[in-house]
């Protein structure tokens, strides 16, 4: 059977069987009357009225319920360029981004908080009152983008979508994207801090729910199309987890309350180091795209005193070995069997992440033998990853750093985190 990756529109179509025309119409929302005031606030000059941001949120979100944004044709058809959902997404994205790369001021931070809260209200209104699922999914698409706003209040909203059964995977996938966008925002007041979400309780809650999704035990012998759909949606959860920059989340008493590195290592190594009965998706495992995201996430994390870097490097190296095997198969595959892996981009991202990893390793105690992982990185970047970055699937990378590391560097510890005995692994 040919393996076909499901693009987003196909995934959505699986769930949009009830996208019938609206049984009732709503009035098209109007542009905010104080557009200049909103833009001044976005620029950080002067605060606009909160009501203006509420109008803006209605204008952005409620338009998914009217033509042409809900898929219906405008009648009469307008002359000239016609707006569609993509133009709406572009416009919304502009409002969700601040205009400069400098540290935002208090006016801009108030803008992100007020607009984020207003957007959340309008999205849940559509989820409750939208005429069909297409409108609701499109509202969630925009809601995922709204995570680019530094609005901490959006965390509970995204977690609500993820945890409640009434919201199907066609909604949850955008909640994962929203969390990832939030997690990619550094502290506006202190850019050296990796997250503007500083509360360890919130970070732990995000970790916990993402971990449940990523490591959820699925039954054996699923249909290939069902397994592929799980992998496709779960990848967004992996990408969100990979955006957490703490390898270990600790509370104010320095106690471990989350272990993103452990979850990502399970993905990167395809559950190879745990008992087969505990594997998340028997017979299929984690898709190669999930594993690439996990490796990038691991390498980008801040180090923690509890980590055994030689074991982490060994597990990452096993993942890299499998990725190189996929590359070889992808090179010679029938075009209909292509994995659709963005090899050049993936290699470039791994190179950048491994450089970050190396800096973190240099800060770890000598007793933890971080130099073992450092040596691997120094060989991987020029010999294995740089050729892939240059030539993609057509490259012939040197995989000797990977095979030699497997042979020569069996880890001394079999426990990823010294403080957590549940992270003990079996070295194959």
Say what the pLDDT of residue 16 is.
Answer: 47
Count Cβ atoms below 10 Å from residue 143 Cβ, excluding itself.
Answer: 28
Domain segments of the chain: what residues? 309-333+342-412
pLDDT tens, residue order, the chain (428 aa): 344 444 444 444 444 445 444 445 678 899 999 999 999 999 999 999 999 999 999 999 999 999 888 888 777 777 667 788 999 999 999 999 998 767 899 999 999 999 999 999 999 999 999 989 999 999 999 999 999 999 999 999 999 999 999 999 999 999 999 999 999 999 988 878 899 998 999 999 999 999 999 999 999 999 999 999 999 999 999 999 999 999 999 999 999 999 999 999 999 999 999 999 999 999 999 999 999 999 999 999 999 999 999 999 999 999 999 999 999 988 887 776 666 899 999 999 999 999 999 999 999 999 999 999 999 999 999 999 999 999 999 999 999 999 999 999 999 999 999 999 999 999 98
CB contact set of 335 (below 8 Å; sequence gap of 6+): none
Residues 244/301, Cβ–Cβ less than 8 Å: yes
Which run of H or of E encompasses 250?
strand 249-250
Residue 334 burial class via C-beta count within 10 angstroms: exposed 0-12, middle 13-18, buried 19 and up? exposed
Q: How far apart are CA 385 and CA 375, in angstroms?
A: 15
């Amino acid at each position: 059977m040919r393996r076909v990756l499901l693009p987003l529109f196909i995934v959505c179509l699986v769930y949009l069987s009830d996208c019938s025309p609206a049984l009732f119409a709503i009035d098209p929302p109007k542009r905010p009357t104080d557009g200049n005031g909103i833009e001044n606030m976005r620029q950080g000059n002067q605060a606009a009225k909160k009501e203006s941001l509420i109008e803006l949120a209605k204008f952005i979100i409620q338009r998914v319920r009217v033509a042409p944004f809900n898929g219906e044709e405008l009648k009469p058809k307008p002359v000239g360029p016609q707006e569609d959902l993509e133009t709406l997404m572009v416009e919304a994205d502009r409002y969700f981004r601040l205009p400069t790369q400098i540290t935002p001021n208090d006016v801009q931070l108030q803008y992100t908080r007020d607009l984020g809260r207003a957007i959340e209200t309008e999205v849940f209104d559509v989820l409750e009152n939208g005429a069909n699922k297409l409108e609701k999914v499109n509202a969630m698409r925009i809601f995922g983008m709204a995570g680019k706003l530094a609005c901490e209040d959006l965390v509970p909203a995204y977690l609500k979508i993820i945890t409640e059964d009434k919201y199907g995977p066609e909604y949850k996938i955008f909640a994962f994207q929203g969390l990832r966008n939030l997690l990619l925002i550094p502290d506006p007041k202190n850019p050296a801090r990796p997250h503007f979400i500083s509360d360890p309780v919130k970070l732990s809650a995000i970790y916990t729910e993402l971990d449940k999704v990523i490591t959820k035990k699925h039954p054996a012998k699923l249909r290939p199309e069902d397994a592929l759909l799980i992998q496709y949606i779960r990848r967004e959860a992996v990408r969100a987890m990979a955006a957490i920059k703490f390898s270990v989340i600790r509370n104010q008493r320095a106690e471990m309350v989350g272990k993103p590195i452990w979850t990502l290592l399970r993905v990167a190594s395809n559950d190879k180091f745990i008992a087969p009965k505990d594997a998340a998706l028997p017979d299929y495992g984690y898709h190669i795209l999930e594993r690439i995201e996990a490796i990038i996430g691991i390498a980008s994390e801040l180090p923690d005193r509890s980590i055994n870097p030689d074991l982490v490097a060994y597990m990452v190296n096993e993942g890299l070995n499998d990725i190189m095997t996929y590359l070889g198969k992808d090179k010679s595959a029938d075009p209909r069997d292509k994995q659709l892996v963005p090899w050049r981009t993936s290699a470039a991202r791994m190179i950048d992440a491994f450089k970050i990893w190396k800096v973190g390793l240099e800060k770890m105690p000598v007793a933890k033998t971080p130099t073992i992982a450092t040596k691997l990185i120094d060989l991987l970047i020029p010999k294995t990853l740089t050729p892939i970055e240059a030539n993609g699937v057509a490259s012939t990378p040197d995989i000797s750093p990977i095979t030699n590391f497997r042979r020569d560097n069996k880890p001394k510890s079999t426990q990823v985190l010294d403080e957590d005995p549940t992270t003990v692994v079996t070295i194959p």
